Amino acid sequence: MQKSTVEVSQEQLARQKTAMERVRRLSESIPHQPLAFVDTYGCQQNEADSEKIRGMLSVMGYGFTQSESEADVIVINTCAVRENAEHRVLGNIGALVHTKRAKPSQIIAVCGCMVQQEHITDTLRRSYRHVDLVFGPQALWRFPELLEKMLTERGRLFETAEEPGVIAEGLPVRREGSIKAWLSIMVGCNNFCSYCIVPYVRGRERSRRPEKVIEEARELIAEGYKDITLLGQNVNSYGRGADYGVDFPELLSRLSELDGSFLLRFMTSHPKDASEHLFQVMAESPKIARHIHLPFQAGSDRILKAMNRNYTKARYLELIDMARHYMPDIILTSDVIVGFPGETQEDFEETMSLLRTVRFDALFTFIYSKREGTPAAKMEDGTPRDVIQARFDELVALQDAISAEKHAAFVGKTLKVLVDGETGDARYPLSARTNGNRLIRLTGAPSAIGSFVQARVTDSNKWSLFGEIL
C-alpha cells in the first residue's frame, strides 16, 4: 500500500530557510520596512495556510498592511469550491491592476485552490497580466524561494504543476489571534464526492505525524491559546495509509490528556468514517468540545449515491443517535447542498425530513455549483433555477426556525463560555463561544477576553445567544 505521507526533506526545508534569510537581508537593505497584504478566501485550511504565508513573510522582514495600494507584496489565497467564490476572487484580482499601475514594483501573487485548475491559470496568464506569481497549495512551502526569484529576477512565474502533495513541517506561522488557533492535522482529500473540486486541487490525503501535532498543540497551550481546532478535510481518516498506529480518536484522546485549560475542536468529519469510538472519546474528556460538524449533504439515498458519499440516510441518522446516546447535550451542525443534478421534489423532501428529524443547531446551506472536471459536471439536470432557489429558501426557512427554537431553549441556563473578543455593540460589548461553538454576546468588561467564564443566557435569536457574565 502506498504510504500517504511524504514529508519534505530537511535539505529542501533548509533551502527555504536560506532563501528566507536572503530575502530578509534584501528587506533590511531598503530604507522602509516592506509591507505585505495577504487576503484569504475559503475554508479554515486556507486560513491556516495564510498564517503560514504570513509567518514566512514575517521571517523575510515584511510588515503587514490592510491596504492593497500600500503593499509591496500582495498574496491572494483563493478558494475553488463554488463558482460565485471564484467570480468574487477574479473580480478582486482584476481591480489590482490599478494598484500595480500606481506602484509598478508591487508583486502580486495568487495562490490557493483556484489556481490548481488549468482553465484558471490560463485565464490568469492571458487576461491578468499584472499577476506576477501563481502557485498552488502543494507548492506553498516553496514560497520563500518563489518570492526571492520574483524579487531578484522579476518576470512571471507559474508554479502549478500537478503534485500529489507533501507535508512540510516547521514552517513559520503567524497566527491571527491569541485565543483561538487552527491546528492542521492532515491535508488533501481522497473521497472524490462527485460534486467536489477539493480532491483535485488539494491533492491526496496525508497526515502529519502524531508527535508533530502533539508538539504543536503543547506549544499553543503554553502560549495561552484556549480554543484549538484540529483541521482536515476529513479528520476521521487521520493516519490512514500511514504507519503511525494512531487513528483520529486516538490522536484526539492523546491531545485531550495534555495539561492546561483549553478546549479542542475539530473539523470536518465525514459520516462514512465517523465511529462509535470517536463519540466515546469525546464523551470522556471535558477538554473536547461537545460539538460535531457532520455534513450530510443530502437526505435522499439516491442522491447520496450519485454524490459518492458512501452512506445512507439511515446510517447518518444512526450516527446522530449514537452521538446523542453518548452526549445528550451535543451540538450538531452540518452542510447541505440543494439542487444536485437530477434532484427531484421527492429527493428534496428527504432532505427536509432529515432536517426535521435531526434538528441541527445550525446548518451551512449551499446551492449546487457545477465544478468543471468533477463527475457531477457531466450529469444531466433539467431542474429550473427558480425551482432550486425556491427549495433552497424553504430549507433555509425551516432551519432558521429550528435554530431559533434551539437557541431559545438555552435562555435561563448558565454556561461556561470562552470570551474571545469585542462586538462593537454597546449593549452586549463582548463576544464569546459556548462549548458547542454557539455565538453568545455578553454584557461585561473587556478584561474577561481570553478567559473561560460562567454566563447566564438571557435572550436569543436564530443566529446567537445573549447573556451576562456571572
Smallest separation, CB 234 to ligand SAH (Å) = 6
Judged by CB under 6 A, how many residues of this single chain contact ligand SAH? 17
Q: What is the DSSP string of 245-305?
A: ---HHHHHHHHHTSSSS-EEEEE---GGG--HHHHHHHHH-TTB-SEEE---B-S-HHHHH
Which one of ligand SAH, ligand F3S, ligand SF4, none interacts with residue 79, CB within 5 to 8 A by kind?
ligand F3S
**Is the CB of 46 or the CB of 297 nearer to ligand F3S?**
46
Map the footprint of ligand SAH across residues 120-159, applying CB under 6 A. Answer: none
**Is the CB of 236 or the CB of 256 nearer to ligand SF4?**
236
Distance CA 96, CA 107 (A): 11
**Is the CB of 73 or the CB of 89 nearer to ligand F3S?**
89
Smallest separation, CB 318 to ligand SF4 (Å) = 19
Which one of ligand SF4, ligand F3S, ligand SAH, none interacts with residue 19, CB within 5 to 8 A by kind?
none
Map the footprint of ligand SAH across residues 337-366, applying CB under 6 A. Answer: 337, 366
Distance CA 304, CA 298 (A): 6
Binding mask 75-104 for ligand SAH (x = CB under 6 A): ------xx----------------------
Comparing every residue's Cβ against ligand F3S, the nearest one is 42
Which one of ligand F3S, ligand SF4, ligand SAH, none interacts with residue 109, CB within 5 to 8 A by kind?
none
Distance CA 174, CA 274 (A): 32
Question: At a CB cut-off of 8 Å and minimum separation 6, what does 215 contact?
Answer: none
Q: Which residues pair with 35 in a beta bridge?
A: 63
**Is the CB of 80 or the CB of 181 nearer to ligand F3S?**
80
Using CB under 6 A as the binding rule, whether residue 268 contacts ligand SAH is answered as yes
**Is 14 exposed, middle or buried, given 0-12, 13-18 or 19+ CB atoms closer than 10 A?**
exposed
φ, ψ for residue 251, nearest 5 deg = -60, -45
User: Do residues 61 and 27 touch, judged by C-beta distance below 8 A?
Assistant: yes
**Is the CB of 171 or the CB of 187 nearer to ligand SAH?**
187
Using CB under 6 A as the binding rule, whether residue 383 contacts ligand SAH is answered as no
Helix (H, G, I), strand (E, B), or coil: what is residue 375?
A: helix
Which one of ligand F3S, ligand SF4, ligand SAH, none interacts with residue 371, CB within 5 to 8 A by kind?
ligand SAH
Smallest separation, CB 189 to ligand SAH (Å) = 6
Which one of ligand SAH, ligand F3S, ligand SF4, none interacts with residue 192, CB within 5 to 8 A by kind?
ligand SF4
Using CB under 6 A as the binding rule, whether residue 326 contacts ligand SAH is answered as no
**Number of continuous H segments (helices) and E segments (strands) in the chain:** 13, 19
HSE, side-chain direction, 13 A CA sphere, residue 444: 25
Which one of ligand SAH, ligand F3S, ligand SF4, none interacts with residue 113, CB within 5 to 8 A by kind?
ligand F3S
Q: Long-range contact list for 17-25, CB < 8 A, 24+ apart?
A: 17/144, 19/144, 19/145, 19/147, 19/148, 20/56, 20/59, 20/60, 20/144, 22/148, 23/60, 23/61, 23/144, 23/147, 23/148, 23/151, 24/59, 24/60, 24/61
> Judged by CB under 6 A, which stretch of 25-33, 149-157, 193-201, 219-227 contacts ligand SAH?
193-201
**Is the CB of 20 or the CB of 187 nearer to ligand SF4?**
187
**Is the CB of 45 or the CB of 399 nearer to ligand F3S?**
45
Interface residues toward ligand F3S, by CB under 6 A: 42-43, 45-46, 79-81, 113, 197-198, 201-202
Smallest separation, CB 333 to ligand SAH (Å) = 11
Map the footprint of ligand SAH across residues 269-288, applying CB under 6 A. Answer: 270
Which one of ligand SAH, ligand SF4, ligand F3S, none interacts with residue 80, CB within 5 to 8 A by kind?
ligand F3S
Distance CA 264, CA 283 (A): 13
Binding mask 218-247 for ligand SAH (x = CB under 6 A): ---------------xx-------------
The DSSP 8-state label assigned to residue 345 in this structure reads H
Using CB under 6 A as the binding rule, whether residue 335 contacts ligand SAH is answered as yes
Q: Kindly provide the b/e burial profile for residues 345-375, where b requires at least 16 CB atoms within 10 angstroms of the residue's own CB.
A: eebbebbeebbeebebbbbeebbbbebeebb
Using CB under 6 A as the binding rule, whether residue 202 contacts ligand SAH is answered as no
From the CB of residue 445, how many other CB atoms can be counted at a distance below 10 Å? 10
Question: At a CB cut-off of 8 Å and minimum separation 6, what does 404 contact?
Answer: 460, 461, 462
**Is the CB of 236 or the CB of 253 nearer to ligand SF4?**
236
Residue 414, all three cell numbers: 448558565
**Is the CB of 34 or the CB of 136 nearer to ligand F3S?**
136
What's at 263, amino acid-wise? L
Interface residues toward ligand SF4, by CB under 6 A: 189, 191-193, 196, 198-199, 233-234, 270
Distance CA 111, CA 109 (A): 7
Length of the chain: 470
User: Do residues 80 and 89 touch, judged by C-beta distance below 8 A?
Assistant: no
Using CB under 6 A as the binding rule, whether residue 369 contacts ligand SAH is answered as yes
